[in-house]
Structure 1
Amino acid sequence: MTTPHNSAKKGDIAEKILLPGDPLRAKYIAENFLDDVKQFNTVRNMFGFTGKYKGKEVSVMGTGMGVPSIGIYSYELIHEYGVKNLIRVGSCGAYLPELELYDLVIAQAACTNSSYASQYGLNGTYSAISSWELLYKAVKIAEEKNLRHFVGNIMTSDIFYDDNPESWKKWAGMGVLAVEMESYALFCNAAKAGVNALTILTVSDSLVHQTLTTAEEREKSFTNMMEVALEI
């Protein structure tokens, strides 16, 4: 069994998978956190690996940037490879002043400006939420590890360079914690298929404080969220 985007065969991918946007972050997680690692995908350099964490099988795979990209990869992982628990581990831009660089954001739900849910023909606006089971476990682990974390609503945006640089303030005014570009599609795909999905993010920059991390730091230094996701 292969797809146009994934060369894995049936059984190569675990029922639990971590999904960083950056394929190099997937490689970093596999090399530094997993044992007995085997690579299952190199198509389009979207690296995917399966290994063991504390004796339990887990996979990790990059998803690329944006709703269309994670929409493709998560759909195939669910429907072609039988993945049951999908945990996005990514970076985000903080909308609220209390969030600092390297804080964790555990997404309870995702707002969006994407039209992704229009495919379902719903007569209204779909609220894309995470799995309560995974959310509860992630928060408990973050508390046990005494990690700074925030739980709440995030924004999945189709736009990185916004023509209106002040538009984010309206979302902040609704209590939205931070912005990223993938979770809404992941939550929709998981809900439609009846599987579990969660997003755990690390604050990589702040629209409030105008601070940011480097590309290397985003690839290799966001270890707290990786450990929380693996412990679930």
Structure 2
Amino acid sequence: MTIHIGAEPGQIAETVLMPGDPLRAEWAANTFLDDAKCVNRVRGMLGFTGTYKGNPVTIHGSGMGMPSLSIYANELIRDYGAKTLIRIGSCGGMQDMVGIRDVILAMTASTLSTPSRGIFRELNFAPCADYGLLRSAADAASARGITHHVGGIYSSDVFYDERPDLNEQMMRHGILGVEMEAAELYILAARYGVRALAVLTVSDHLVTHEALPSEDRERSFGEMVEIALEAAFPS
């Protein structure tokens, strides 16, 4: 057990999927894993472990924002031996060719700041995904006919952004979408020598101002979970 995770030793798999919402973790575990059991309820941040095609998998909530994800990712890696961590969540589209319901596979994650910024001081560290996971996720999406995009995203440290000038520069430089967690996950993966990837569903759009209807979110989220699981365990 750790301060924030109540799982016993051996109850966390080496492969962990991390949605922000703990209730989405519960839904994904019940939908995609066999014999899923709840292994964490501390502070309501649910975690479940089961198997996917015979492979042990944990699906554990991360909360919203990089500080929250940093707590759980640190403990999952350092104290429970997680080796592969895949963020599964929603994002806002930032390019015209990126549509609602499309999936973004985040190759890099730009950011203004992360909880790890103090370590690097003047260095602008470039957080990136594990290439093997990225390639496997793209293959899985292609095999299922899911429209997907591979490229850079922006991990914001605020939800209610008041920097339209910064968004304009992100779009100008080809950033595909914006979310709030991936950059810190990629930095921690680099620090600990493990694998990480963010698989994101576009739920709203900063250019077109479209938004995914609530009744469609679960179906689209399911496609993202499948991609993540197949990326972790390619056929």
Deviations 1:49-80 (A, max 9, x none): 00011111111011000010001100100000
Whole-Å Cα distance in 2 between the matches of residues 144 and 180 of structure 1? 26
Letter of the aligned partner of 2:203 in structure 1?
A: S
Asked if residue 81 in structure 1 is aligned to residue 77 in structure 2, the reply is no
Q: Deviations over 1:116-172 (max 9, x none)?
A: 332323542000001111111111111111210000000000111122345312101
* TM-score, normalization by structure 1: 0.95
Match of 1:107, SS state, is: strand
* 1:199 partner letter: A
SS of 2:145's equivalent in the other structure is coil
CA distance in 1, matches of 2:115, 2:128: 14
Question: In 2, distance between residues paired with 1:57 and 1:187?
Answer: 22
The corresponding residue for 1:49 is 48
Residue in 2 aligned with 1:136? Answer: 135
Identity of aligned residues (%): 45
Q: Quickly say closer, same or farther: Cα 1:41–1:216, change in 2 above 3 A.
A: farther
SS at match of 1:127: coil
How many angstroms apart in 2 are the aligned matches of 1:32 and 1:115? 32
Contact (CA 8 Å) 2:114, 2:184: kept in 1 or not? no
How many Å separate the matches in 1 of 2:128 and 2:107?
6
Partner of 1:180: 179
Contact 2:114-2:157 within 8 A present in 1 as well: no
Give the distance between the partners of 2:41 and 2:111, measured in 1 at CA.
30
Structure 2 counterpart of 1:200: 199
Which residue pairs with 1:120 in the alignment?
119
2:222 alignment partner AA? T
1:161-204, CA deviations, whole angstroms, 9 ceiling, x for partnerless residues?
12234531210100000000000110011100000000000000
Question: Aligned letter for 1:22?
Answer: D
Matches within 5 A, 1:135-174: 135-174=134-173
Q: Is the 8 A contact 2:154 2:179 kept in 1?
A: yes
2:95 aligned residue: 96
Between the two proteins, the alignment pairs up a number of residues equal to: 231
Q: Does the 8 Å CA contact 1:89/1:226 hold for their aligned counterparts? A: yes
Name the SS for the 2:116 alignment partner: helix
Aligned equivalents of 2:163, 2:117: Cα separation in 1:
24
Deviations 1:22-63 (A, max 9, x none): 111101101111111111001111110000111111110110
Unpaired stretches in structure 2, ≥5 consecutive residues: none
1:10 corresponding residue in structure 2? 9
TM-score normalised by length of structure 2: 0.94
Q: CA RMSD in A?
A: 1.4
Q: Deviations over 1:200-224 (max 9, x none)?
A: 0000000111011245644564111
